[in-house]
Amino acid sequence: MSDQHPAAAFRESVEGANVELAYAGAKTFLKGEMRDVGAVSDVDAATFGVPYDGAVSNRPGARYGPQAIRRASGWWAYLSDYKGGLTNMQTGKQVNFDDLTVADCGDAPIFPMDSETTAESITAHMATVASQTFPVMLGGDHYCTFPALRGFAEGAGHDTVGFVQIDAHTDTTSESPVFGTDFHGSSTSLIANSEYTDYENVSQVGIRGYESPEFFEFAEETGLNLYTMRDVEDQGITSAVADAVAAAAEGTDAVYVSFDIDAVDPSVAPGTGTPVPGGLTPHQALKTMEVLGETDDVGAVDMMEVAPRYDSDEGTQRLAAYLLVTLLERKFAE
């Protein structure tokens, strides 16, 4: 008599029983194994969430971004499990997702009424992951990128870090009379004035809408590498992103990439707090991640400002997941 229990026997005897559908099973990023944040040195990349939107200036809801991105990522985990090796029809390349190992460390502790302690938590968790492997942070509002970059530098032992920001907004406000010095519109200012980088190693792609008077003069004086949507249209996305990475990487130990989903046009990605018309197309956004994934200088990435409540069709989080998968695929699975 077999010692095998009935469920195990069923799984062994029925073809396809061990294929987990996209909407089934644990809701981890790419259905990766759930791990303690201190035990990820044996994987290619490790994700953690930051469900915090206490520093937004417009519509809240990015606190629900990490779980939404995780759920959406299940589709690519299903495809890779079901079909094995895949052909990426956009790039024409063969992709073996068996070569990509991803763990999910859950969410960093968040303190909704205490931004300082929340920032300390983000720094500590990013530093712990970065000391072991490639970190992927799921936001959360864009203020969280500042303590994350600090944690990346500390954990990976980098003295200098370049910063590539894909965004509709520059986030260079040093102080607001309403929101103070620590909100999602000040994150890049905080990063550029930190001990780890300055504006000469900050690159921004996809900027549009309105900024402060004489902002172009500010960019020239500080050395900020600015690629507005007009620049992207004139230069082409591949060239603009390649130049942005090169500028951020020059003289630094590594590059931190932050992708604010509002960089994409809101007709495609409406699920965000501060949408601005005229943004990146899905093709441009995916091409951006292809270029970034092919660059050895890139040492960390985050996906910010996904607010799923504003997108009833769930397309925003689906695109956000696809963008991260694209970068990781190019970095580890080709």
Q: What are the binding residues for Mn(2+)?
A: 142, 167, 169, 171, 260, 262
Local structure of 65: helix, strand or coil: helix
Give the helix/strand (H/E) hosting 75: helix 65-83
Report yes or no: 76 and 69 within 8 Å, Cβ to Cβ: no
What are 304's two structure tokens? 């910010």
Return the exposure string of 214-231: e unless at least 16 CB atoms fall within 10 Å of the residue's CB, then b.
eeeebbeeeebbbbbbeb
Nearest by Cα to 255 from 149, 173, 170, 180 = 149
Q: Give the integer Cα–Cα distance in Å for 261 and 320.
A: 7
Residues placed in the known binding site: 142, 167, 169, 171, 260, 262
Contact assessment for residue 9 and residue 2, using Cβ atoms and an 8 Å cutoff:
yes
* Angstrom distance (rounded) from CA 183 to CA 65: 18
- Cα 231 to Cα 151, 217, 284, distances in angstroms: 32, 16, 13
Q: Name which of 104, 72, 101, 76 is nearest 88 in CA terms.
A: 76
For residues 262 and 323, give the distance between their C-alpha atoms in angstroms, rounded to a whole number. Answer: 13
| Alpha carbons within 13 A on the beta-carbon side of 32 | 25
Element of type H or E holding 330: helix 315-332
